Amino acid sequence: MENKKVLLGMSGGVDSSVSALLLKNQGYEVIGATMNLYEGEEEGTCCSTSSTLDAKRICDKLDIPHYTLNFKDEFKNHVISDFIECYSNCKTPNPCIECNKYLKFGCMRKRADEIGCKYIATGHYAKTEYSEKYGRWVLKKSKAGKKDQSYVLWNIPKDIIEQIIFPLGDFESKDEIRKIASDNKLAVANKPDSEDICFVPDGDYKGFLERNSSIKPKIGNIVNKDGVVLGKHTGLYNYTIGQRKGLGISNKVPLFVIGFDKEKNEVIVGEEKDLYKKEILVCDINLLLFDKIEKPLKVKVKTRYSAIEADATIYQENKIIKVEFDNMQRALTPGQSAVFYLDDIVVRWRKDNVKNLK
């Protein structure tokens, strides 16, 4: 008999709740799992007490088992530590990407194996399917347009793509999902989406860093490209590439953060034209569609979750990929991810330890 047992990550929100309903209706043996990730979970976040209870209530209604998985140590070691390390090194992290890699498709995948689940599922807007053209299972964009979440899934191990199910991949809007929840009398049908970083629910990431790491305010100089001091900053972690407001300096033309000098504790500013680059180097490669990029490849590239895809050519040399954009790109930021697409298929992505070239 085919193993249709699936471990579904449930946050207590409408997406994962409808995913549970859809999977059950498709004949899967669904087990709901909510991850307990950090101490002092605030209400309204994806792993708060109320969210865990919401997930359990949905499972009870659908008559499927629900478990809470304690991954606090793993979350601290992989996600929070990376968050702190990035800001310590003048990068702007995306903790959801690290969480997907190490928790949702790492720890939860291991737990699925332990309880005999062939599949793992989440409520992400993305798709997996077998590609005859490429002769392998691939990760693809969903039909949800701007809601597509394939960008934050780039570092899923390619050897488990075949065992991953995204039940929402063929839906075009969140309204469709809420209607399914409402029609089936799921109590979370109108529950608001969680927009903030789950472990920084008040949005004060600076305060979080100061309370949970050795990062503290350290005054330094704000300088232009020539090293001329224009003002003072309150700590490198308080600034990001492309920032204009809050610099506390005046100039005849607007100035933006264009870089950092960690050793000198300096924020470097320039004019808007200085934010534009045409080439970057990226590392931390996770190839999903190919084993290696053997020759120059034309792709679409996203450099932020909300960014518009840009045309580019990529070249691989050992563990580094060079990206040459067709057109200049604004505010490419170390710590973010560059994700490559061929049509709607993810070629690969890597963490943008990005070195700007020109």
Q: What is the pLDDT of residues 250-260, one digit of tens each?
A: 899 999 999 99
Q: Of 282, 263, 279, which is closest to residue 348 (Cα–Cα)?
A: 282
The amino acid present at 144, given as its one-letter code, is: A
- Is 117 one of the catalytic residues? no
pLDDT of residue 318: 86
What element of type H or E holds 55? helix 49-62
Mean pLDDT score, 63-72: 97
pLDDT at 74 over 70: yes
> Which pLDDT does position 351 carry in this prediction?
45
CA nearest 123: which of 183, 171, 158, 175?
Answer: 171
CATH 2.30.30.280 domain extents, the chain: 217-270
Q: pLDDT band for position 349 (50/70/90)?
A: very low
Intervals of CATH 3.40.50.620 along the chain: 5-183
pLDDT at residue 47 greater than cutoff 50 = yes
For residue 88, the 8-state DSSP code is H
pLDDT at 42: 55
Residues of CATH 2.40.30.10 domain(s) within the chain?
A: 276-356
Give CA–CA dist 29/91, Å, rounded: 42
pLDDT value at position 300? 97
User: Could you report the per-residue pLDDT of 282-321, keeping only the tens digit for each?
Assistant: 988 899 998 889 999 999 999 999 899 999 999 999 889 9
Measure the CA–CA gap between 294 and 296, rounded to whole angstroms. Answer: 7
Please indicate whether residue 135 or residue 47 has the higher confidence score (pLDDT). Answer: 135
Token pair in block for residue 334: 């170390």
Structure tokens at 105: 């498709």
The 3-state DSSP class for residue 152 equals helix
Asked if the model's pLDDT at residue 350 lies above 50, the reply is no
Mean pLDDT of 186-195: 90
Contact of 299 with 309, CB cutoff 8 Å:
no
As given in the structure block, the two tokens for residue 2 are: 């085919």
Q: What is the pLDDT of residues 209-242, one digit of tens each?
A: 999 999 999 999 999 999 999 999 999 999 999 9
Average pLDDT over all residues of the chain: 92
Answer yes or no: are the C-beta atoms of 28 and 119 closer than 8 Å.
yes
Task: Tell me the pLDDT tens digit for each residue of 140-169.
Answer: 999 999 999 999 999 999 999 999 999 999
Query: What is the predicted pLDDT for the residue at 353?
Result: 46
How much is the pLDDT for 40?
Answer: 59
Q: Is residue 45 very low, low, confident or very high in pLDDT (cuts 50, 70, 90)?
A: low
**Alpha-carbon torsion angle 262, 263, 265, 270, nearest 10:** -60
| Pair of tokens at residue 265 | 């504790």
Output the pLDDT for position 39. Answer: 73
- Assigned fold of 276-356: Elongation Factor Tu (Ef-tu); domain 3 (2.40.30)
Q: Domain 217-270 adopts which CATH fold?
A: SH3 type barrels. (2.30.30)
Amino acid, single-letter form, for residue 353: N
For this structure, is 198 an active site residue?
A: yes
Contact present, 129 and 137 (Cβ < 8 Å): yes
Q: Which of 46, 47, 86, 198 is catalytic?
A: 198
Distance CA 317, CA 282 (A): 11
* Contacting residues for 259 by C-beta, under 8 A, at least 6 apart: 241, 268
Mean pLDDT confidence for 76-101: 95
Catalytic residue among 47, 99, 107, 117: 99
Asked if the model's pLDDT at residue 354 lies above 90, the reply is: no
User: Which CATH entry fits the domain spanning 5-183: 3.20.20.70, 3.90.1150.10, 3.40.50.620, 3.40.50.300?
Assistant: 3.40.50.620
